[in-house]
Amino acid sequence: MKKSYSFLCIGLGLFTAYILQYILDLKWQWLYNLQLDEEYKRWSGVFVGIFILFQWILTLTRVSKKLRKHTMLFTRLHKWIGIISPLFFYIHAMEFGYGYLALLSYIFFINMILGTINLDILKSKKEWVFQSWMITHVALSIVITFLAIFHIGIVFYYK
């Protein structure tokens, strides 16, 4: 199996597992109980926040002349970390939440799926496909980042 299809299978598998556990209400009770603890929620949220920030390093390697030589390495890391992100999300929250948290969750998973079905999978040489995919992926990433920052602000404001 080609590497790009391995990414696809792993990413879609983890996404499907997250959705199924949510729909079927399957929970590891010990983890769910941890997620009810505010201290755990904050620290697991820090982990998810670091993951989100780390994903932006790829952009830095692409725009910085000094870092450009590391682009291929960070592209691989970006893809691998992106496809396992449902695990990070699961460790932080087994549910989507309500209001802006539901929106954050939906956009997070839409962007994860979009990243999983990346340009290696699409194999299109058309410039408009590349530009549409990239603009959508980056735009959703920006929205996720702002919603995550908003979420952090709300969490610590109502501490």
- Give DSSP secondary structure letters for the chain: --HHHHHHHHHHHHHHHHHHHHHTT---HHHHHHHTSHHHHHHHHHHHHHHHHHHTHHHHHHH-TTTGGGHHHHHHHHHHHHHTHHHHHHHH-SS--STHHHHHHHHHHHHHHHHHS-HHHH----HHHHHHHHHHHHHHHHHHHHHHHHHHHHHHHT-
CA dist list (Å): 74 to 8, 62, 109, 121: 18, 9, 21, 18
Low-confidence ranges of the chain (pLDDT < 70): 1-3, 159
Structure tokens at 85: 């992100």
Each residue of 137-153: pLDDT tens digit?
Answer: 999 999 999 999 999 99
Q: Quote the pLDDT of residue 3.
A: 66
CB 123, CB 13: distance < 8 Å:
no
Q: Quote the pLDDT of residue 2.
A: 67
CB 9, CB 103: distance < 8 Å:
no
Q: Quote the pLDDT of residue 144.
A: 98
CA distance 52 to 86: 12
Q: Quote the pLDDT of residue 125.
A: 82
Nearest residue to 110 via CA among 144, 74, 72: 144
